Structure 1
Amino acid sequence: MSGGADAGRRAELERSLAQVTERIERACADAGRDPADLTLVVVTKRFPLEDVLALHELGVRDIGENRDQEAGEKVAELRERLGADAPTVHFIGQLQSNKAGHVAGYADVVQSADRAKIVDALARGAQASGRDVDVLVQVGLDDEQGRGGVRPDEAATLADRVAGHDGLRLRGVMAVAPLDADPAPAFARLRELADGIRSKHPDAHWISAGMSGDLEAAVAHGATHLRVGTAILGSRTAVL
């Protein structure tokens, strides 16, 4: 992975990033919110380092990855090139317990903690690496298999477990809206859960919700972090 995106690709990314930024600003205006209170996490999984570097030049400071092997290699090179100015790395994919420790060694944020076994493995990895990792509890808002997420009625207990570990900082909750359904009720439910967790853990004020197709609904229901990939980078047919 060397060099940067060519001029055509950089211009394409600049246009699409501007379009998404405009959507966020409109959604915030409709909801009476300040766009400065939201963090855009650009989902760069399956896209090359050149795209990430171009996005960095365009002001992107948070990226999302979901495959450990790809992310670990990409992040290492990003940090070698950019040093302290490298973007904040959010791991957003489902985790296996045997990979969680490795992820904790390079991810700044893990958004997909959904089982006690994962939380414990993240804590061991963070402690072994001498790092503090921000963690979100992923909540399952539908019955789809393979999408991850703790049951809503178990989210508070898992949040307590995260908060009880050295090396982990509980920051809030994350969820993916149900497929083929109005996302608004799910995001409203997520906000209720987030409020309950924050009442016990005041620093857990992040709500990661909303992607390319439903970011407006997420903004309307209190999202603080938006995970947007396709609307900025295009279809994920690119490979490293």
Structure 2
Amino acid sequence: MLRRIAFLMCLALAGVGARAQTALDPALVERVRQLAETAARATAPPGTRVAVEIGQLDARLRLAPCQQIQPYLPPGIAVWGRSRIGLRCTVGAARWNVTLPVRVSVYGRVVVASGPLPAGVNLSQEQLAMADIDIAAEPGAVFTDASQLIGRTLARPVGAAEAVRAPALKSRLWFTAGETVQVSAVGEGFAVSSEAQAMSAGIEGQEVRVRFESGRVASGRAVGERRVELLL
């Protein structure tokens, strides 16, 4: 009987230790915050403000006590918006590896809709305004200059005070098949430019094939009015 009681006490103590491990040390929380902020600022536009909210580890976790926990950025995970920071035990009785939920907000002044805008509308200055919003709340590039959007057509509705993001815009037709286009290739220490004939329509941001006077065919990306950038 005494042996059974001792066994149950050991289990209880182990459970307490494991639950205590889910309560993160304030110094570790600050390291996680700094890691997330640094990663977010690396891709944030100038003049924006980054804020990080740290979540909690899953209460169901039973982690062995650890003397040294290393926070890290999991590969392939976007830092903006709802994300996760990895935590791994590097010095302890048992090595473990978990992720901690975080929310990274990036506040900036960008172009928003001054009122509800339906799909298909051609944007005008009166339909646009500037506002400070969390640009990390949704995917898609934002705009800081309303003149870049004048005349563009919406592919989907945009709500009032909602940022007008790149995915909401219809892609522009930069040139048609058969047109002569200016092809450029830029690399480390070099830049080459020449003319070629478009073999298909050049839709903004999409791949297009061009044929040079020599007969050589190459693939590029439509980037502007009768302009193609080679895919190196």
Higher RCO (C-alpha under 8 Å, 6+ residues apart): 1
Please state which structure has a larger fraction of its residues in helix.
1
Q: TM-score, normalised by structure 2?
A: 0.17
- Bigger radius of gyration: 2
Which structure has the highest strand share of the two? 2
